[in-house]
Structure formats: structure tokens, C-alpha cells
Amino acid sequence: MSGAIGVFDSGVGGLSVLHHIRHTLPHERLIYIADSAHVPYGDKTPAYIEQRSHTLARFLIEQGASAIVIACNTATAAAVHSLREKYSLPIVGMEPAIKPAVAATQSGVVGVLATVGTLASARFAALLGKYAGDVKIITQGCPGLVVQVERGELHSMKTRRMIERYTAPLLAQGADTLILGCTHYPFLAPLIRDVAGAHITLVDTGQAVARHLLRRMETELSTRVPAEASAQFFTSGDAAQASRIMSVLWGEQVIARQLPREYW
């Protein structure tokens, strides 16, 4: 039995997770979808995001995916349960890293940078109830940051000012640990460190997700034979623009293909 690992996100941010998957599972065939025609997911309804997630998962399975990673916190909150009900293959989602951040903080204050959709989800509320304990958790929605990454503006003055605005209230209340609660945000980590200070701990879940995927595949797909290592990239947006941005974020030349129209 062979197959691929399918990964999707609202846009190019999930490449931060794909990096960890490639490092942890270097011999796998990877298929990545940036749903950039519908980015950002953070301002869409849960029903809309769920519908898009099912459409993208169907495409990945038709392309041979034997496991799927939802490389998006907002899409995980909206769709992971219904996807798991529909499909029997391993489906791994994202969630803000409350538990490791609570373990890391020295000040007892943790800030969460995330999309509005993630912060409003029942899944996020459940994480707070389960792991926050006596630690003060301060949340900050970050409208516009996803779009900045989609545009490749990782170091622009506009992006810097947005980060200054979003981190200021968290730092003012004593946060020494910031959760990057969106897969786009790790690409802004150098700028966030520059703004917030080198003493601030940044936490994201990409590496933990890759390790969890490995365990799921070893347990549930033990008879599977890995295909030849490769990576394919698709987008529902402009293929030329996606290729340019993905090449920067992936660290090597990417040629993104347009999703067939029925998956737009």
C-alpha cells in the first residue's frame, strides 16, 4: 500500500507545517493545497470553511492521499470533526499550543496571536479550559496578518506596524510567551522577535503536528510503503503568484498548479 500525505490551508501559511512534515517524514510524497482564492478563512463562517475543507480533502484523496493534515487552526476548528466522521484515513488538525506555552511561561502570562475565527471557536475555548490552569491567557485577533504573508510582505513596514499594534497589549500585561496561533505566523517570527524582544518565547505547533502525523501513520497505515519523496503544490488562486510566494517560503523553486475549476 502506498500513497501521499495531503496538506491544505487557507493559503501559503501551511507551508510552515509542511516544512516540519518534510523533516520528520523525508521519504513521503507530499501534496499541498493553498486555498488562496478564499483566503483568509478567519473572517468566513464556520459553515463556509467546512464546505471548503471537504472540497479540498476530496481532491487530495482523489490524488492519492492516504493521510490528511489540516494545516490551519481555523479550518481545524470548523471541519476536523465532520471530516473524521466521513473519512477513515488519518486526519490531523492544528490547535493553538496552549499546553506547551503554559509550561514555558515564567511570568504566568501567555499571549495568543490568532485569527478571529480561531479565537471564537468552541475548540479554542475547550483548550483554555483544559490547559490554562492558573496562567493568565490573553488573546489578540490579528486581522490582516494572513494577507501580508500571502503577499510575501514578511519584512515590510506595514507588517511591522501591524505586529507592533497586535503585540503591544499582550506585552503590556506581562506576557513573556506568545502563541503563534495561525500557520501563517511562523513566517513572521523573525519580525515578531524583533518587535517583541529576544526574551519573548514564541510557540507554534508545526513540529508537534508532524510528530503526531508520524505516530498516526505508523499505527494506522503500518502496511503502507512510502512513495518516492516529492512535493506537488496546488492553488485555487493565481498560479503564477502562488509559485512566486511559495518558492520563497518553501526555500526552493515551486511551480504551483491551478486546482481544477470544480474545486474552486
Q: List residues with catalytic annotation.
A: 72, 182
Grid cell listed for 28: 513521503
> Which runs of E-coded beta strand occur in 25-119?
29-34, 65-70, 91-92, 109-114
Compute the distance between CA of residue 92 and CA of residue 226 in angstroms, rounded to an integer: 18
Helix, strand, or coil (residue 4): strand
Which are the contacts of 262, defined by CB distance < 8 A and separation ≥ 6?
none
- Cα 93 to Cα 83: distance, rounded to the nearest angstrom: 10
Beta strands in the chain (DSSP E): 4-9, 29-34, 65-70, 91-92, 109-114, 136-141, 177-180, 201-203, 230-235, 257-258
Which three three-digit cell numbers place residue 97? 499550543
